[in-house]
Amino acid sequence: MSHRYGRAGFSGMLPMLAGLAVCAVVWTSLSSLNPAASGESTKRSPLPASGHLARAKLYLAAGDFRRALEACEQEVNERPSAENYTYLTYVYHAIDGYLDRQSQREQWGLVEQLYRNLTYREAQDLIDPPGGLARMAKEFIQESVRNQADLTAAMATRLDALRTEALWKQQALWRSERADDWWSGVPAEWGW
């Protein structure tokens, strides 16, 4: 069942280098997390952004969708609200949008990277990686994230339909302004 907000139209030194890159992004992004310093709108959600949401924003920028999902899930677990369910839904949509874009461009290697990102859990996966063809993985992932997006969107609406609708208007504008990479960030009004 589709909800009205559910479906809107992803070597040895590499892990260390990726960690350093994330640290650099965190360091340079600290000023962007303060909207007053950057001149951005200070209109925010009634709940101040948590560390989970700030991390989710960085994970989206890095293309680490698994960790972005986990951070938003932690936020929902600790502070359930219409906003936080909507933010979680947005990450599901981001995965779906990323997959659509990469498959349209026939970038199947990037689809496979997303699949590995979502399935990697521990060091054992490095020597026994989860298998799967990229095109099949795309279908599996999209079906799953779309179903989860429908579910979490419905939960957000049950908690506060007006607030959820306002958040989706903000993200619709964000998507239209950044059609080629909207999934790598969130609307500034969200205050992540």
Contacts of range 31-39, beta carbons closer than 8 Å, 24 or more positions apart: 33/57, 33/192, 35/188, 35/191
Q: Is the pTM of this model over 0.85?
A: no
DSSP 39: T
Per-residue pLDDT of 129-138, as tens digits, reads 555 567 788 8
Share of the chain above pLDDT 90, in %: 53
Question: In the Cβ-directed half-sphere of 189, how many Cα atoms lie within 13 Å?
Answer: 12
> Residue 173 CA to chain centroid, in angstroms?
17
User: What's the confidence (pLDDT) of residue 131?
Assistant: 58
pLDDT band (50, 70, 90) for residue 116: confident
Task: Pick the range with the lowest mean pLDDT from 55-64, 82-91, 126-135, 173-182.
Answer: 126-135
Q: Averaged over 57-83, what is the pLDDT?
A: 96
Q: Is the pLDDT of residue 181 over 60?
A: yes
Q: Is the pLDDT of residue 150 over 50?
A: yes
* Burial state string for 87-104 with b = 16 or more CB within 10 A and e = fewer than 16: bbbbbbbbbbbbbebbbe
Are 50 and 59 in contact by the 8 Å Cβ rule? The answer is: no
Q: Averaged over 59-78, what is the pLDDT?
A: 96
Per-residue pLDDT of 14-63, as tens digits, reads 443 344 344 443 333 333 333 333 343 334 444 456 799 999 999 999 99
Task: Pick the range with the lowest mean pLDDT from 62-71, 85-94, 128-137, 179-188.
Answer: 128-137
User: What's the confidence (pLDDT) of residue 98?
Assistant: 95
Q: Is the pLDDT of residue 127 over 80?
A: no
